[in-house]
Chain A
């Protein structure tokens, strides 16, 4: 390996290789068959660790994340790495749509994370949520308290849902979303996108900034309607598309270099990415937040 490549692979953590018992899930925790034989490859969690390292948060955040992984099982926690063009932060997602694992609940999280984080919002466990998530960054960790949870409820079918932001003082609807096959259901995709208060699609150059051709070759898209913006998520992209995404949305150079240097060892995986989108006062499309996902 060249010196440049070696520097890119250098990490403050030990790379996590694939193991025979690994499972492969998308960000909805739906299983998929690896694109290549996984032997000798890397787990997607390495991208999480690298992002933490790049942000200077590896040492502080590794213990609670390792605790989650140990308690819930490898590959059973979805991580999202979020980026607003300037800073990174993280979101962790725990699924239990059938209420099978008492630890994959708000109560379970409260217990697992207790040494590091207090979960402030109270949630009635009879609430029919199928997934709970929370943001994690240096402030949250320093405060030692998670002030907000996101609860996800399925809609009339599993391909659509709603999420609520839950704080100590109450809950509010923040997001409705729907999963679609990008090509088979293109009419619905376009209809949902164009039904927007935040993006005017009259200019034909606008749509490609939302329905992005480089990501269109994916397994699923998710169109989300949020309080002050729209969101589009692309599920089931390959590592080359992920690398394109990281560059297009200006993720930190060290993280991009890591993905580039390890691309051949991530080529067995599918990834998921998302972007929030709205127009600013000048009519230009802005992406207030983007994110990519893997499993821990």
Chain B
């Protein structure tokens, strides 16, 4: 079985991200979709409506995020916003933006009035000198900063995003100090992903020996100011006491499937030895080729549990698979398919883990024994425990303490009863989709670039 570290896919299925278009008025030197700007189209409105309508009927996403390119350049943004607000049943609507147009208070207020309650604003430097150099647009820092101040005065949830490159690694703490004045709800630090420049000809990859200390210092400052942080694509072992800041989860993105084919992939030599390998991605392949596996620098936390080659990405939408049981509070329609099955048998339903491709019900008996019942789209040609109107039903990940035959019997009954319940309750209207990106070739321009290395995931 291959490790998820060979792949990169959506994992956080409470968030839906919609790429409306790929135009931008900045030209950030690290932009990971410069060529993608020419390759990917935005999501057609009809496709977007379908995703929103689906969520309105059977809610699975709590938040919808609009992004681009630079989303605020898109004239039809308000059509998308309105439709999401009126039909999607989302708890939050978020905008991911460079913030420049938000310097216009009237525009910022209009966005808020249309229902956006969370703003995720890029800030890659603490001052005009750094940010304008990175964005290659003079005045971009001042515009973004005014935008941030406008948003603060409007009382919305404010978050910043900083892409970590050689261009700003020396000023990360200064960025935190500057942003702290805005009291953001969170600061995110995303390590640069070479998505098109696989050989890093732009020289943007920061050696981990340099990035680790700089980032830890910035996280120290953020902790001092009481700002929660999230860090992506940096090995957890480099975060020191801020290891809990690691968050490699990805929202579900309405985007061309090919987008994920050109994303960098990850690997770590210590995957099987490290306690955190289910959630930590390690290093990108381009980084490893340029700067090595970092065998000495990366230090695995000894595992307390046996390592198993993960079959399907991060642990089903949770970046903390070993945290407390969350309980099956979400996805009520999906919960209803097996509701009431476990308890009479002396078991419990621990979680309902829903992504686009499968619904996983995790049942447990006692502290250790558990099994997953898995629904996937009905295909008729792959092995299944049973098939319902909509689904192939199977089970996996049976974990039993040694010799616990009583738990085995209970879990066997749970699987049997749950499969029967799904068969009886599935009316054929619930959909699972095996694609990664929701949108097929129609979201690509007619003359994509030619880069076969990228197609197979360099």
Give A contacts to B, CB under 8 Å.
Answer: 37, 39, 181, 183-184, 186, 190, 204-205, 207-208, 211, 213-214, 216-219, 236, 238, 240-241, 243-244, 247, 256, 260
Contacts and interface: CB of A to CB of B under 8 A. Distances in A.
Contacts of A241: 6, 456
Nearest to B266: A213
Given A213-B267, A214-B457, 7 more contacts: A39-B381, A183-B272, A204-B292, A213-B288, A217-B2, A219-B1, A244-B458
Given A39-B381, A205-B290, A244-B453, A217 B6 contact: yes
A191 to B, nearest CB: 12
- By Cβ-Cβ distance, the 9 closest A-B pairs, closest first, are A204-B292, A217-B6, A183-B272, A244-B456, A213-B285, A213-B267, A213-B288, A243-B456, A184-B272
Given A204-B291, A208-B293, A244-B456, A214 B265 contact: yes
Contacts of B271: 183
Interface of B: 1-3, 5-6, 265, 267, 269-273, 283, 285, 288-295, 307, 309, 381-382, 452-453, 456-458
23 contacts: A37-B381, A183-B3, A183-B271, A183-B307, A184-B307, A186-B269, A186-B272, A190-B295, A205-B291, A207-B293, A208-B293, A211-B293, A213-B285, A213-B289, A214-B285, A216-B267, A217-B2, A217-B5, A217-B6, A238-B2, A240-B457, A244-B458, A260-B452
A204 B285 CA distance: 14
Contacts of A238: 2
Contacts of B290: 205
A208 B457 contact: no
A246 to B, nearest CB: 9
B458 A205 contact: no
Contacts of B270: 186
Contacts of B309: 183
Contact of B292 (A207, A218, A244): A207
Contacts of A183: 3, 271-272, 307, 309
Contacts of A216: 6, 267
Contacts of B458: 214, 244
Contacts of A207: 292-293, 295
B9 to A, nearest CB: 14
B161 to A, nearest CB: 27
Chain B CB within 10 A, most for which of A184, A207, A216, A240: A216
B273 A205 contact: no
A183 B307 CA distance: 10
Contacts of A214: 265, 285, 457-458
Contact of B288 (A184, A208, A217): A208
B269 A190 contact: yes
A53 B292 CA distance: 38
Contacts of B453: 244, 247
B22 to A, nearest CB: 24
B313 to A, nearest CB: 13
A239 to B, nearest CB: 9
Chain B CB within 10 A, most for which of A181, A204, A205, A247: A204
A216 B294 CA distance: 15
Contacts of A211: 269, 293
Contact of B382 (A37, A213, A240, A247): A37
Contacts of A39: 381
Contact of A205 (B5, B285, B289, B457): B289
Contacts of A247: 452-453, 456
Nearest to A218: B2
A86 B266 CA distance: 31
A218 B457 CA distance: 15
Contacts of B269: 186, 190, 211
A207 B1 CA distance: 24
Nearest to B285: A213
B250 to A, nearest CB: 18
A129 B294 CA distance: 40
Contacts of B6: 216-217, 241
